[in-house]
Chains A and B, each alone.
Chain A
Amino acid sequence: MSAEPEPEPAADPAEEGGAPPEMPPAAPGPSGGRRLNLRDWRVTATAAAVVVAVTAGVVAITATGHHGGDRADPAASATPAYTGLPHTAIDVSPSTCGKGWGANGKPHTGTQVFDLHNSGASATEVYLTDPKTGKFYAEVEGLAPGTVREMPVELGSGTYAFECQQEDTDSVTGPTVTVPGNVPQGPASRPVTVHDLIPPTLDYQKWIRARMTELSADTGRLKKDIDGGDLAAARRDWLAGHLVYERMGAAYDTFGDADGVINGTVQLDVDPAHAAGFTGFHAIEYGLWHGRSAASLRGQAATLDNAARKLQKDWATQQMDPANMGLRAHEIIENSEQFELTARTDYGSGTNLATAAANIDGSREILDELAPLLKDRDPGLARLQATLDDAQAYLRTFDKGGTWTPVGKLTRAQREKVDAYFGDMLEQLAPVAAICDVRRTT
């Protein structure tokens, strides 16, 4: 990632002005793509297999944290994390799922803690459900064998049952327990399964395919502008193409190294004018807005156009992980706040607010795909969608005929309003990710 080894002189097309280079190296630019790559977004096997693998990974980590499941049962000596609240010991092995509630005292409303003890042989997921509605009220994932974990809940009046999903076995639902009284129940949602998420993911992939067609048309136009020496047209077409790419926010990780080639940035201590391997929209942006000649940008324009076409071609064989749809809806805006509202990715065009508006398109597209799942799971969905619209409408007031107000030129009141919109959007997007977290319900 550093400047070592010494770059080849030919690796800096911005300064060369000669013939377009070959396709750039597969490695990303000096700092690669700017997007955080916290959660791998690509799948090569079937989606279901990946989900199983992910779950197993979680279990393994948890088991490690508990130093394995073969030690003496620590239930007796566990120090409760929650004090001053009623505790009820619950057994959650497949044969005893839910045992202990109702038998050792009267089920009651209010804040309380279930001490879940996995006396089974394998790790298990535990859910507190309402068997009548199928809604989940609480969950504990990856409870290692032989361990106890506390599940704090606020119970309203109603019917409940524990559901135990041990690895590689069918789900077991314990006895139904009625909590008497007239207290409203707490927040709950029906779980989302990977099967629920496959149709929206496929639709989304289709939408991305259409964006890729747009993208390669735009990069072709940009290349033509630069080849023809029309820099004014190039700046206009650069923005159009970049925004198309930014609208595909949820797919970046799927693009892999291509994202670094198409939309990479350089580290802050690297001069963009002399950054080896710095290619793509931002490299061209730097040239277009720093008085570089059209001739000096020809190589970069070809590189970008080639990468966009290759991306379009490769997309046919890519699969997106359905498990990440909900996460990406909020991660797009998190990235937008982190990199656009700070102008970290500005290489001279001052169009971060345009990018942020395009990112909202990307988040909205995912939400639209997820809407059938969310409409009876997230009571805030309509409000969230309205907030996205309002925020985007406000951002668009900073577009004066294709020239956008740079982030640094916002007045204080404007800046605060933008920040308030993004903060509000992000807080509302967090539940989407939580609700769309894949839960096994078999």
Chain B
Amino acid sequence: MTSDTPGREHHGDLGRRGFLRGAAVGVGAVGAVAGGATALTAATASASAPAAPKAAAAPFHGAHQAGITQPVQSASVTVSFDVTAADRRELTELLHTLTERARFLTTGGTPPTVGITDSPSDSGTLGPQVPADGLTATVGVGASLFDGRYGLADRKPLRLTTMPEFPDDDLQPAWCHGDLSLQLSAPHTDTVLHALRDIARHTRGGLQVRWRMDGFSSPSRPSGTPRNHLGFKDGTANPDVADPAVANRLLWAGGGGEPAWTAGGSYQVVRLIRMLVEFWDRVSITEQERMFGRNRDTGAPLDGVHEFDTPKFAQDPMGDVIPLDSHIRMANPRTAATDDSRILRRAYNYDRGMDSNGNLDMGLVFVCYQQDVERQFAAVQKRLAGEPLVDYVAPFGGGYFFALPGVKDRSDWYGSALLA
């Protein structure tokens, strides 16, 4: 774990790893993997640009995970895993491996060579050298990880629970909860799938996918926030978390009785929400807009002109312009009392074929981050209970997770403080 040998900091650990791929590759190879990655960061930057547009590498190391504050990207996959590692030692090894893979994949590099000792170390779907391509990996842990299996019961984040079933939910157990969440996002689908395949390959003994939903984010149509399948812009009223004061008040956990290890993390809520798009398409535009409280064309609140105009609910106490039961009004009444319940939304659209009744199976992978899931998402959800929109959407899955603090440097790893 010495800092002067970057890339070989986990030799001692890897030597005794027993259930994850890579353990058998040997000491030299492990060093070479990370060493290759390091060498490559510089190499890729100076290489001639390939045909595909290239996104810069998001910084992997930092106090927070990069994927939380980064705006949504074109392609994503949201996966919930159950941890099959046998004990705490294996869980620790698993998180080391996950860190090493995420570090390599988000940094890019030449995959390690294996000579005649193994099948190729990389699937090759991104070519011989792996571009970072703006990939981010965001890792969270669910309440079930803090059961008796790993001796973590006394370390559970204060507000982390199994996601409750809200009044308008129709949860399917197969699509809910999980020990560990992983969201991969990038400008291109191949980059996301390459990363998923790589991570799964290296963790088969320790992680099994519980559920998975692929998502995409649309371009601005014609401008502003991307639209969801209902045709409305989704995520307009996000708090400005680039302002540290806002982020510290609304986004980052820590303090307030939380276990110390949570500092720099954030509560992550994932909601898989089916949208009944055929039904929706048979609703008049006036009714659609009154359900949201926004103009469909521009995204502006019904009392405004531009997308980012602030609705003036106080001047419309009877809801003549923006109905009292409209989505934006119930979700965020914009009062002093509700200001600290705002959430950072990072939603993706999903599309997964057809339903049994012949309808398009489309919806939203709603993801949001917040400092306190009770004070924020749960409070908003309770305010939204019974809103008119619920006839057209059906939340059926997802879970509550705690997005881990960032991986600080090359010697750090996901959950190092949690498992310390």
Chain A residues near B (Cβ < 8 Å)? 81-85, 110-111, 128, 136-139, 152-154, 156, 183-189, 191, 377-380, 383-384, 386-387, 412-413, 416-417, 419-421, 423-424, 426-428, 430-431, 433-435, 437, 439
List residues of chain A with CB within 8 A of the CB of B110: 82, 85, 111, 152
Main secondary structure of the interface of A (DSSP, over half): mixed
Known contacts A428-B24, A431-B118, then 11 further A-B pairs from the complex at CB < 8 Å, ordered by chain A residue: A84-B40, A84-B42, A154-B32, A187-B118, A188-B116, A380-B24, A420-B207, A423-B208, A426-B204, A427-B201, A434-B116
What are the interface flags for B31-66 relative to A under an 8 Å C-beta threshold, 1 for contact and 0 otherwise?
Answer: 110011001101110111000000000000000000
Instruction: Assess whether B115 is in contact with A186, with CB atoms less than 8 Å apart.
Output: yes
Q: What is the chain A residue whose CB lies nearest that of B31?
A: A184
Instruction: Assess whether A152 is in contact with B128, with CB atoms less than 8 Å apart.
Output: yes
Name the 5 nearest CB pairs between A and B, nearest first.
Answer: A423-B204, A84-B43, A380-B24, A424-B205, A420-B84
- C-alpha spacing A384/B205, complex, angstroms: 12
- Listed A/B pairs (24) with beta-carbon separation below 8 Å: A81-B128, A83-B43, A83-B47, A84-B42, A84-B44, A85-B110, A111-B39, A156-B28, A186-B113, A189-B116, A189-B117, A191-B116, A383-B18, A386-B18, A416-B82, A420-B84, A420-B204, A423-B208, A424-B205, A427-B204, A427-B205, A434-B116, A434-B119, A435-B116
Contact of A431 among B24, B40, B48, B129 (CB under 8 A): B24
* A83-B47, A110-B39, A416-B208 known; A187-B84 Cβ under 8 A: no
* A82-B128, A85-B43 known; A437-B204 Cβ under 8 A: no
Instruction: Assess whether A434 is in contact with B118, with CB atoms less than 8 Å apart.
Output: yes
Query: Most chain-B Cβ atoms within 10 A of its Cβ — which of A83, A110, A416, A434?
Result: A83
Q: What is the chain A residue whose CB lies nearest that of B37?
A: A111
Instruction: Assess whether A184 is in contact with B43, with CB atoms less than 8 Å apart.
Output: no
Instruction: Assess whether A188 is in contact with B18, with CB atoms less than 8 Å apart.
Output: no
- C-alpha spacing A417/B84, complex, angstroms: 6
* A187-B26, A380-B24 known; A136-B116 Cβ under 8 A: yes
- C-alpha spacing A383/B127, complex, angstroms: 32
Closest CB of chain A to B186's CB: distance in Å? 20
Q: What is the chain B residue whose CB lies nearest that of A184?
A: B28
- C-alpha spacing A412/B19, complex, angstroms: 20
Closest CB of chain B to A434's CB: distance in Å? 5
* A81-B128, A380-B24 known; A110-B35 Cβ under 8 A: yes
Closest CB of chain B to A80's CB: distance in Å? 9
- Residue B388 lies at the interface, judged by CB distance under 8 Å to chain A: no
Instruction: Assess whether B48 is in contact with A83, with CB atoms less than 8 Å apart.
Output: yes
List residues of chain B with CB within 8 A of the CB of A413: 82
- C-alpha spacing A189/B115, complex, angstroms: 8
Chain B residues near A (Cβ < 8 Å)? 18-21, 23-29, 31-32, 35-36, 39-40, 42-44, 46-48, 82, 84, 110, 112-119, 127-129, 201, 204-208, 210
List residues of chain A with CB within 8 A of the CB of B115: 128, 136-139, 153, 186-189
List residues of chain B with CB within 8 A of the CB of A85: 39, 43, 110
List residues of chain A with CB within 8 A of the CB of B42: 84
* A187-B29, A420-B206 known; A154-B112 Cβ under 8 A: yes
Q: What is the chain B residue whose CB lies nearest that of A185?
A: B28
Contact of A186 among B28, B39, B127, B201 (CB under 8 A): B28
List residues of chain B with CB within 8 A of the CB of A412: 82, 210
List residues of chain B with CB within 8 A of the CB of A427: 21, 201, 204-205
List residues of chain A with CB within 8 A of the CB of B205: 387, 420-421, 423-424, 427
Contact of A187 among B18, B19, B28, B39 (CB under 8 A): B28
Closest CB of chain A to B7's CB: distance in Å? 11
* A84-B46, A420-B84 known; A380-B113 Cβ under 8 A: no
Q: What is the chain A residue whose CB lies nearest that of B49?
A: A83
Closest CB of chain A to B207's CB: distance in Å? 8
Q: What is the chain A residue whose CB lies nearest that of B118?
A: A431
List residues of chain A with CB within 8 A of the CB of B43: 83-85
Q: What is the chain A residue whose CB lies nearest that of B17?
A: A383
Contact of B208 among A82, A83, A419, A439 (CB under 8 A): A419
- C-alpha spacing A437/B119, complex, angstroms: 11
List residues of chain A with CB within 8 A of the CB of B206: 420
Closest CB of chain B to A381's CB: distance in Å? 9
Contact of A138 among B20, B40, B113, B128 (CB under 8 A): B113
- C-alpha spacing A367/B249, complex, angstroms: 59
Instruction: Assess whether B113 is in contact with A152, with CB atoms less than 8 Å apart.
Output: yes
Q: What is the chain B residue whose CB lies nearest that of A439?
A: B116
Q: What is the chain B residue whose CB lies nearest that of A419?
A: B208
List residues of chain A with CB within 8 A of the CB of B29: 154, 186-187
